[in-house]
Amino acid sequence: MGAVVGTLTMQTKQRRPSRDKADDDLEMTMVCHRPEGLDQLQAQTNFSKRELQVLYRGFKNECPSGVVNEDTFKQIYSQFFPHGDASQYAHYLFNAFDTAHSGSIMFEDFVTALSILLRGTVTEKLQWTFNLYDINRDGYINKEEMTDIVRAIYDMMGKYTYPVLKTDTPKQHVDAFFQKMDKNRDGVVTLDEFIMSCQEDENIMRSLQLFENVI
């Protein structure tokens, strides 16, 4: 969970080109020319107008067209994990952002998800994370889905994972997590089981609080 929030936040803070005050004022003016959009996003998220302006500027720096397709998303995301393969995890993350299944992410999609991850309630954060793991979107997490996500995270971290992981390490971790989460032993994890299990885990709860005021 911490990896999800941390890397998303890094995208809004890093790789901004140098610019003079005139450029900055011009872009701020362009943002301010969309007051209805800002007002609506402020009402729908937990960000102030100023925070939304900063996030929008970072989003436009990375995506001048205002729309991100999956290939572009993978390219951006991979820059933060140069020693690993982030492509598969970025694929899953893209699908979690693309709630309309349109094949693209707009600023509204990005900032809505970021608001949940950074400023949402514990339940909202866990619901969003559950949807990330629920790859086929059937309302349940099965062991194969959890294994796919966990393996993608390990691939993304690459050689920075210490100690060096054995091939079967993701499966071992998933087996342990799944046994804890599948309360009724029916082979799938429901949203209620997922939330209950995460709330019982101190490490997960700490990771949820880590980035609450990062912006």
**What is the token pair recorded at 125?**
């954060």
The region of weakest confidence among 6-10, 84-88, 183-187 is 6-10
Q: Is the pLDDT of residue 159 over 90?
A: no
Instruction: State the pLDDT at residue 8.
Output: 45
Q: Is the pLDDT of residue 124 over 50?
A: yes
| Amino acid code (one letter) for 38 | L
Q: What is the pLDDT of residues 132-149, one digit of tens each?
A: 999 999 999 999 999 999
Go through 60-69 and write b for each residue having 16 or more CB atoms within 10 A of its CB, e for each that does not: eebbeeeebe
CB atoms within 10 A of CB 131: 17
pLDDT mean over 56-61:
89
Q: What is the pLDDT of residues 173-205, one digit of tens each?
A: 899 889 999 999 999 999 999 999 999 988 878
CB 133 within 8 A of CB 153: no
- What is the set of domains in the chain, with CATH numbers? 2-209 (1.10.238.10)
The region of weakest confidence among 79-83, 90-94, 138-142 is 79-83
Q: What is the mean pLDDT of the chain?
A: 80
Q: What's the whole-model pTM score? A: 0.76
DSSP codes of every residue in 78-147 = HTT-TTS--HHHHHHHHHHH-TT-SSEEEHHHHHHHHHHHHHS-HHHHHHHHHHHH-TT-SS-EEHHHHH
